[in-house]
Amino acid sequence: MNINNIKSQFPIFLKKINGKPLVYLDSSNSAQKPISVINRLDSFYKNEFSNVGRSIHSLSVNATNKFEETRISVQKFINANSKDEIIFTKNATESINLVASTFGQQNIEKGDEILLTELEHHSNYVPWHYLRENKGAIIKFAPINDEGDIIISEFEKLITKKTKIIAITHLSNVTGTIVPVKEIVDIAHKKNIPVLVDGCQSAPHIKIDVKDLDCDFYAISCHKVYGPTGLGVLYAKKKWLEKLPPFIGGGGMINEVKKDKITYAKLPEKYEAGTMPTAEVVAFNESIKFMNMIGMENLIKHEKELTNYALEKLRSINSVRLVGNPKNKAGVISFTINGIHPHDIATILDEDGVAIRAGHHCCQILHEKLNVNATARASFGVYNTKEDVDILCKAIENCRKVFDLK
């Protein structure tokens, strides 16, 4: 698949915004969907729909087989040891809550410590906060420097005998920082501390190898990986899934139910209670095929070139201030314009057909650390081009003119 012509695979780009071609620079929020994913979702509902694991008729057997094919595809995509280590959830937020709840139930007591970083999205903070509220846990935040990089020496200093788990993002949705996860996991495992990785931003932009990272848990948001909404993935080492209790109770996750006793299903069904998002799981297989056809190496190269081009162009515009300058950066660029609120920037850019995000991006702690209330953010997907960056920069110049900035 030619990455230079990839935009033609996305029907959304036939749409015009205010009479102008859509320039979509909000992929960190959610990625647009290729036609193959859209068609698969449509086809499943039209021709194949059934619940999974409930019946033995042909439709149900077929749906169950397709559902499990996706599980195997995800296993291969992230290089997990077993398909039983792949749990489908409704989003990455639920994946992280699953770990926080079950791990916390078994392993967290009053005074125990949970180590996060100042880069974390609220989805990788609030679930741990519940343990602070309900169990008296202590949350520590490893600091970042002014460039947006984690200070590893300071990170290590925060680890104590009370540290029970470390939860870190792989890629910041504000600064674009690619966190040295493998190094952090090595440090943690030397002290027998498990590590959860929030892979929401990294899965579409970095080749994920959970064996190489050796992390204990990895959360993925499928709608950011060109897949359907309402679907997430939790990878967890089998030893943890066998040890931890179920998260949600109900049909599908049980083995035997008696009045005085309940036994639970084997993995992975133990963690997949109730009716699952079957169509979304089946369609997500097309997202993985789409990524594999492009090739992660090609995608990474494309986005790196695009990011470097955008940084150079934006730095040349008066009054534009880039937020963060990490050593290892992906295609997420947050910025401010002196004298213009980010919400106004986004509103005016929208008039030129340019879609960006503005606000704190569910990272209030990080924005406080960077001493900024809100930022405008341009984030890239496989469909973006240098022409998109040029249009963005032109729209920013128009924005400056509206506010009469020199």
For range 280-295, the mean pLDDT: 97
* Helix pair angle (278-294, 296-315), 10° resolution: 80
What pLDDT was estimated at residue 55? 86
Of the candidates 122, 87, 86, the residue with the CA atom closest to the CA atom of residue 248: 87
For 171, the enclosing helix (H) or strand (E) is none
From residue 115, alpha-carbon distances to 90, 139, 169, 225, 264 in Å are: 25, 6, 12, 27, 31
Boundaries of CATH 3.90.1150.10 in the chain? 3-30+295-402
Indicate the pLDDT class of residue 404, thresholds 50, 70 and 90. Answer: confident
Q: Report the share of the chain in percent with pLDDT over 90.
A: 97
Does domain 38-292 bear CATH number 3.40.640.10?
yes
Note the pTM of the prediction, 2 decimals.
0.97
Which residues, at least 6 apart from 25, have a Cβ–Cβ distance to it below 8 Å?
354, 355, 356, 378, 379, 380, 384, 388, 392
| pLDDT tens-digit map of 82-121 | 999 999 999 999 999 999 999 999 999 999 999 999 999 9
Given the residues 222, 362, 393, 399, the one annotated as active site = 362
The Cα 318–Cα 405 span in angstroms is 9
The Cα 125–Cα 359 span in angstroms is 18
363 counts as catalytic: no
What pLDDT was estimated at residue 176? 98
CB 95 within 8 A of CB 203: no
* Helix, strand, coil abundance in the chain, percent, nearest 5: 45, 20, 35
For 10, the enclosing helix (H) or strand (E) is none
What pLDDT was estimated at residue 54? 78
Which residues, at least 6 apart from 366, have a Cβ–Cβ distance to it below 8 Å?
118, 119, 120, 144, 172, 174, 175
Q: Which amino acid is at 147?
A: E
For range 286-291, the mean pLDDT: 98
Indicate the pLDDT class of residue 290, thresholds 50, 70 and 90. Answer: very high
What pLDDT was estimated at residue 191? 98
| pLDDT tens-digit map of 303-331 | 999 999 999 999 999 899 999 999 999 99
CATH topology of domain 3-30+295-402: Aspartate Aminotransferase, domain 1 (3.90.1150)
What pLDDT was estimated at residue 406? 64
Indicate the pLDDT class of residue 1, thresholds 50, 70 and 90. Answer: low
What pLDDT was estimated at residue 3? 80
